[in-house]
Structure 1
Amino acid sequence: MSETMVLGIVKDTLVTALKVSAPFLVVALVVGLIISIIQATTQIQEQTLTFVPKLVAIAAVGLILGSWVLHQLLSFTERIFEIIATVAK
């Protein structure tokens, strides 16, 4: 296994991880920001108020994008197994 192959695997791993996690992180960030703005304008400083909307939003994203996430992870796994098969020969 060459150094270029290892770097390619690491790059592919990081790109796949970013593609899979980005929608969840962006939704959590946006919902948290919106709730924070609402809390600041209404002066309600309850810390647990942001938890439930974030949880619901992330669950909705999981339901909507679940098949896409699964496809991305399966595609990555297939590429890794192909690399393992070529190295084992």
Structure 2
Amino acid sequence: MTEGDALGIVQQAIWLTIILAGPVIASAMIIGVGVAFFQALTQVQEMTLTFVPKIIAGFLIILMTGSYSGSLLKVFTEQLYIRIATGFR
């Protein structure tokens, strides 16, 4: 295993993490801005109002993208196991 192999695996893992976490983080950001705007308009400063919608939206996004995320993770793992079995050639 050379440095190039290790860097390639790390780069793939980082991109996979970004792809898998991206929808959840994006939805949490959008919900957070919406709740902050609502709180600024109504002057309601309830702390749980910021967390509960983000958690619910994150859970729904995970439910909607779970099969796609699982298949990407499965492909990455299979490719990694194949590289290990062949000795990184």
- For normalisation by structure 1, the TM-score amounts to 0.94
State the partner residue of 2:57: 57
The number of aligned residues is 89
State the partner residue of 1:31: 31
Q: Using the TM superposition, give the Cα deviation of residue 83 of structure 1 relative to its aligned residue in structure 2, in angstroms.
A: 1.1
For 1:26-59, what per-residue CA distance to the aligned partner results, in whole angstroms no more than 9, with x for missing partners? 0011101100100001000111111111111111
**Percent of residue pairs identical:** 37
Q: Distance in 1 between matches of 2:41 and 2:68?
A: 37
Conserved in 1, the CA contact under 8 Å of 2:5 and 2:88?
no
SS at match of 2:20: helix
SS at match of 1:87: coil
Structure 2 stretches lacking a partner, 5+ long: none
Matches within 5 A, 1:6-85: 6-85=6-85
Structure 1 stretches lacking a partner, 5+ long: none
* Runs (4+) off by over 2 Å: none
Q: Distance in 1 between matches of 2:63 and 2:41?
A: 31
Instruction: Give the root-mean-square deviation of aligned CA atoms.
Output: 1.3
SS at match of 2:86: helix
